[in-house]
């Protein structure tokens, strides 16, 4: 009877573990970007600056950001996360930014790998600088 009870309890514990699964290992990574005209490719003399603070949740693959902008030559016409690219190189749009003040997006595994490897940058465009007025690399 004792052996039967022990076996039954062990089986029940194992079944509970299988049914509930194991908790996902999640990490929140803090990221930032400081934008200016000197970081543009090619560089420009813009007096504009911006700061973007972001978090990336590895379990949900959600990137969330908040930012501030000042001193641009005019209103922003577009803003994006670009990548993959190291500083001094250009790349295509990875994620459009509809509001620099706050937003979020769910990334693919490839996008997340590039972001966490420091291969993304933020670019803000204006009418006077349609290719980008200010830029900053996203770093941990």
Residue at 5 is within a domain: no
What is the reported pLDDT for 128?
97
Residue at 16 is within a domain: no
Token pair for residue 26? 């999640």
Residue at 21 is within a domain: no
Residue pointed to by tokens 């803090």: 30
Query: pTM score, two decimals?
Result: 0.82
Residue at 10 is within a domain: no
The residue segments making up the domain with residue 72 are 28-137
Q: Could you give the CA distance from residue 6 to residue 139 in angstroms, rounded to a whole number?
A: 53
pLDDT digits (tens, 9 = 90+) for 28-81: 999 999 999 999 999 999 999 999 999 999 999 999 999 999 999 999 999 999
Residue at 102 is within a domain: yes
Nearest to 115 by CA among 83, 91, 93, 92: 83
Q: Which range, 1-5, 10-14, 71-75, is most confident?
A: 71-75
- Count: domains in the chain: 1
């Amino acid at each position: 009877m004792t052996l039967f009870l022990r076996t039954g309890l062990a089986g029940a514990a194992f079944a509970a573990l299988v049914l509930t699964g194991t908790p996902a290992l999640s990490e929140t990574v803090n990221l930032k970007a400081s934008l200016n005209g000197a970081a543009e490719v090619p560089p420009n003399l813009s007096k504009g600056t911006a700061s973007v603070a972001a978090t990336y949740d590895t379990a949900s693959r959600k990137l969330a950001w908040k930012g501030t902008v000042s001193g641009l030559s005019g209103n922003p016409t577009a803003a994006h996360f670009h990548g993959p690219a190291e500083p001094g190189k250009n790349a295509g749009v990875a994620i459009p930014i509809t509001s620099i003040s706050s937003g979020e997006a769910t990334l693919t595994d490839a996008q997340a790998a590039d972001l966490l490897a420091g291969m993304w940058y933020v670019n803000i465009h204006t009418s006077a600088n349609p290719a980008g007025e200010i830029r900053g690399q996203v770093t941990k």
